[in-house]
Amino acid sequence: MFGRTKVGVRVENEIYWLDLRGKKEFDSLIQSDRTVIVTGVLDELLSTNGDKGFLVNVTSVRANDGGKCDYVKQIVKVEIRGKLQQDSRDIVRPYDVGWYVAVNRKDYYLHLTCPSALEGAVQILDGQMVIVTGTLEVDGRWNIVHTTDIKAAPASPFKITFRRTEGVPDFHPTADVTFDSTKLSAKAADELRKLIGEAKFFELRSSKMPSNIPDPHAGYEFTLEMNGKNHSIWVVDFEMTPPLKSLVERLKELSNDDFCRKLIGLDYADAMRKITEAGFTHRLIYMDGVVFPVTQDWRPNRINLSVKNGKVIRARIG
Domain end position, chosen among 152, 168, 198: 152
Residues 239 and 268 in one domain: no
Q: What is the pLDDT of residue 179?
A: 94
CATH code for the domain of 276: 3.30.10.10
CATH code for the domain of 246: 3.30.350
Q: How far apart are CA 220 and CA 209, in angstroms?
A: 14
Residues 48 and 96 in one domain: no
Domain count, the chain: 4
CATH code for the domain of 113: 2.40.50.140
Q: What is the pLDDT of residue 47?
A: 60
Domain end position, chosen among 222, 252, 282: 252
CB under 8 A, 24+ apart: contacts of 106-109: 106/143, 107/143, 108/78, 108/80, 108/82, 108/132, 108/136, 108/143, 108/144, 108/145, 109/142, 109/143, 109/144, 109/145
For residue 140, the 8-state DSSP code is T
Residue 97 included in any domain: yes
Residue 272 included in any domain: yes
What does DSSP say about strands 229-236 and 281-287: parallel, antiparallel, or unpaired?
unpaired
Residues 170 and 226 in one domain: yes
Residues 175 and 243 in one domain: yes
Q: How far apart are CA 122 and CA 135, in angstroms?
A: 18
Residue 1 included in any domain: no
Residues 53 and 112 in one domain: no
Residue 258 included in any domain: no
Helix (H) or strand (E) holding 311: strand 311-317
Residues 142 and 100 in one domain: yes
Residue 257 included in any domain: no
Residues 168 and 243 in one domain: yes
Domain end position, chosen among 252, 272, 299: 252
Residues 238 and 280 in one domain: no
Residues 146 and 187 in one domain: no
Residues 245 and 272 in one domain: no
Residue 186 included in any domain: yes
Residue 2 included in any domain: no
Q: What is the pLDDT of residue 2?
A: 56
Q: What is the pLDDT of residue 65?
A: 59
Structural domain of 307: 264-317
pLDDT by 10s per residue, the chain, length 318: 555 777 888 877 778 888 887 777 777 777 777 787 877 777 777 666 667 777 887 777 777 756 566 655 555 788 999 889 999 888 888 888 999 998 888 899 999 888 778 888 899 999 888 999 998 887 778 889 999 999 998 888 999 999 999 998 888 888 899 999 999 988 999 899 999 989 999 999 999 987 777 788 999 999 999 988 999 999 999 999 999 999 999 999 999 888 899 999 999 999 999 998 888 899 999 999 999 999 988 887 899 999 999 999 999 988
Residues 140 and 112 in one domain: yes
Q: How far apart are CA 40 and CA 74, in angstroms?
A: 9
Residue 44 included in any domain: yes
Residues 126 and 97 in one domain: yes
